[in-house]
């Protein structure tokens, strides 16, 4: 999707300038230009919302621009670095220092987006030039963005400050909220978005009500509210808006029928994750390779292994690397975007919820839809424990190196210690949470560090 990026860049800069340095700055008051011009009408407010996404994709390996699949893949059992660069090795060894810059970029990027979402919510609410209907749409989208960022933050750091305004007097010294408090806000934001966003925007780069339903399904699953997770997932699956791509090679292309929500790229650009994972030539050593534990776990004939993993032979060795995103150079057109939510994920969310609810046949049917696309035989309806293991197996091979899924899954299943303790030297349970960046601890005396750091 092509856009005129100039006004988006300008408005995004105005809104986000106060929030890009450190958390203590996330509350600086909006200037007069933002309050009087950006929220004067729905057109400018829409551009401000688009600016949040532009800022996110502009950050090299930021939280929503390839950083989450890369670094969480290193933290889990998906990726291994071939070089000795300090920061990636810290993620791989599960020994992240509190001054790790990539970790700080995660925190700062998420709170910059949250700050901008809060500014839009406040500005749109106070605007006299935006219709009541348009206000609900704009606020719904901003609240969805806020919910998504908090969902990522919770699963990386645990309880975090729950910032819901731009008032620096109240945000600068906020303590951490509990996980339960933040999840309550996430659910409230997503329910509002689901109610007030339309069901079809004509594109997959801006959230609609079904995008909110998809994330809400995952949130409910993480909260073990399985009946609600299945209900929300079914809304998405039966909507008719999305379908599984027959060819796995098409899943991450722009315009994929499977994509529920993606972040579009500027014209002729590539994703940062594709740029860093795909080698510069067929003879180059990849910077990151598939962890042997993951590589050896694929079943014979799994189409995902041949479609989403590529091989280079270099220096007499064979290197297997992730190949979901295949573009790593500027081209005549943009072919890929950052896929943050897709249909296969939601099928597996529903399958897991169904198994937990004792609907074993329904769960097996959803699992087998995903396996059929991979040209694998279906699983048989068995007991709940075996079907849960089947869901876990499919999530591992379907969602590898995608938006923190494996890292988050291992932790919510209480399998991180068993899975990583056997393959990671020096693994410690405290490593399941990333450290709060040291500059945030220094700036806010009420902000406590995670155990073990």
Same domain, 116 and 213: no
Average pLDDT for 215-230 = 98
For residue 123, the model assigns a pLDDT of 94
Question: Are the CB atoms for 11 and 17 separated by under 8 Å?
Answer: no
Tokens describing residue 321: 């690397």
DSSP letter for each residue of 362-407: HHHHHHHHHHHHTT-PPPPP--HHHHHHHHHHHHHHHSTTSTTHHH
Q: Is the pLDDT of residue 237 over 70?
A: yes
Token representation of residue 250: 């098409």
Instruction: Collapse the DSSP code of 311 into the 3-class scheme (helix H, G, I; strand E, B; otherwise coil) and give the result.
Output: strand
| Tens digit of each residue's pLDDT (9 = 90 or more) over 330-356 | 877 889 999 999 999 999 999 999 999
DSSP β-bridge partners for residue 81: 288
Q: Answer yes or no: do 255 and 351 share one domain.
A: yes
Q: What angle do CA 344, 264, 193 make, to 5 degrees?
A: 65
Residue 8: which domain range?
A: 1-176+413-418+429-453
395 and 294 belong to one structural domain: yes
Domain-embedded: residue 423: no
pLDDT for position 143? 98
Each residue of 257-312: pLDDT tens digit? 999 999 998 877 899 999 999 999 999 999 999 999 999 999 999 999 999 999 99
Give the residue ranges of DSSP H helices in 253-302. Answer: 272-277, 292-295
Same domain, 283 and 385: yes
Backbone angles phi, psi at 417, to 5 degrees: -65, -40
pLDDT the model gives residue 213: 98
Instruction: Looking at the structure, tell me whether residues 110 and 217 fall in a common domain.
Output: no
- State the pLDDT at residue 202: 72
User: Could you tell me the two tokens for 216?
Assistant: 């809400």
Answer yes or no: do 153 and 221 share one domain. Answer: no
Distance CA 109, CA 148 (A): 12
| Residue 89 forms part of a structural domain | yes
User: Number of structural domains, the chain?
Assistant: 2
Give the model confidence (pLDDT) of 27-79 as tens digits.
333 333 355 578 889 998 999 999 999 999 999 999 999 999 999 999 999 99
CATH number of the domain enclosing 302: 1.25.40.390
User: Domain check: are 248 and 372 in the same one?
Assistant: yes
Distances (CA, A) of 402 to 78, 106, 227, 289, 324: 10, 16, 25, 15, 9
| Prediction pTM value | 0.93
Candidates 96, 87, 67; CA nearest to 427 is 96
Look at the block and give the residue holding tokens 């180059």.
284
Answer whether residue 21 shows pLDDT above 50.
no
What does the pLDDT look like over 395-424, one tens digit per residue? 999 999 999 999 999 999 999 999 999 999
Q: Number of helices (H) and strands (E), helices first, in the chain?
A: 20, 6
């Amino acid at each position: 999707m092509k856009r005129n990026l100039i006004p988006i860049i300008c408005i995004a800069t105005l809104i986000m300038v106060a929030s890009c340095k450190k958390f203590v700055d996330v509350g600086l008051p909006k200037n007069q230009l933002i309050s009087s011009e950006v929220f004067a009408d729905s057109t400018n407010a829409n551009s401000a919302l688009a600016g949040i996404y532009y800022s996110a994709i502009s950050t090299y390996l930021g939280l929503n621009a390839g950083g989450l699949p890369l670094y969480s893949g290193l933290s889990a059992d998906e990726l291994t670095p071939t070089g000795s660069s300090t920061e990636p090795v810290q993620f791989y060894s599960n020994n992240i220092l509190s001054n790790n810059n990539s970790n700080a970029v995660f925190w700062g990027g998420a709170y910059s987006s949250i700050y901008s979402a809060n500014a839009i919510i406040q500005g749109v609410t106070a605007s006299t030039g935006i219709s009541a209907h348009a206000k609900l749409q704009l606020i719904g989208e901003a609240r969805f963005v806020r919910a998504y960022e908090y969902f990522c933050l919770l699963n990386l750091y645990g309880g975090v400050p729950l910032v819901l305004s731009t008032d620096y007097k109240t945000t600068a010294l906020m303590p951490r909220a509990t996980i339960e408090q933040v999840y309550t806000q996430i659910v409230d934001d997503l329910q509002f978005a689901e109610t007030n966003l339309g069901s079809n925007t004509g594109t997959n780069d801006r959230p609609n009500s079904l995008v909110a339903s998809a994330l809400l399904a995952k949130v409910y699953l993480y909260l073990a509210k399985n009946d609600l997770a299945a209900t929300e997932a079914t809304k998405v699956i039966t909507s008719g808006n999305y379908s599984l791509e027959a060819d796995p090679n098409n899943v991450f292309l722009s315009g994929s029928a499977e994509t529920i929500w993606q972040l579009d790229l500027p014209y002729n650009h590539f994703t940062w994750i594709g740029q860093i994972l795909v080698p510069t030539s067929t003879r180059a050593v990849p910077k990151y390779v598939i962890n042997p534990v993951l590589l050896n776990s694929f079943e014979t004939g799994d189409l995902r292994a041949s479609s989403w993993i590529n091989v280079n032979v270099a220096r007499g060795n064979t290197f297997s690397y992730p190949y979901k995103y295949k573009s790593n150079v500027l081209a005549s057109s943009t072919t890929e975007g950052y896929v943050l939510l897709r249909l296969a994920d939601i099928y597996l969310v529903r399958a897991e919820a169904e198994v937990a609810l004792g609907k074993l046949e329904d769960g097996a049917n959803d699992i087998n839809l995903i396996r059929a696309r991979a040209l694998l035989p279906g699983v048989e309806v068995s007991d709940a424990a075996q079907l849960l293991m089947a869901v876990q197996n499919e999530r591992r091979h379907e969602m590898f190196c995608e938006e923190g899924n494996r890292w988050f899954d291992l932790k919510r299943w209480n399998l991180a210690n068993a899975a990583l303790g056997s393959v990671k030297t020096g693994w410690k349970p405290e490593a399941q949470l990333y450290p709060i960046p040291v500059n945030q601890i220094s700036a806010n005396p009420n902000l406590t560090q995670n155990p073990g750091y």
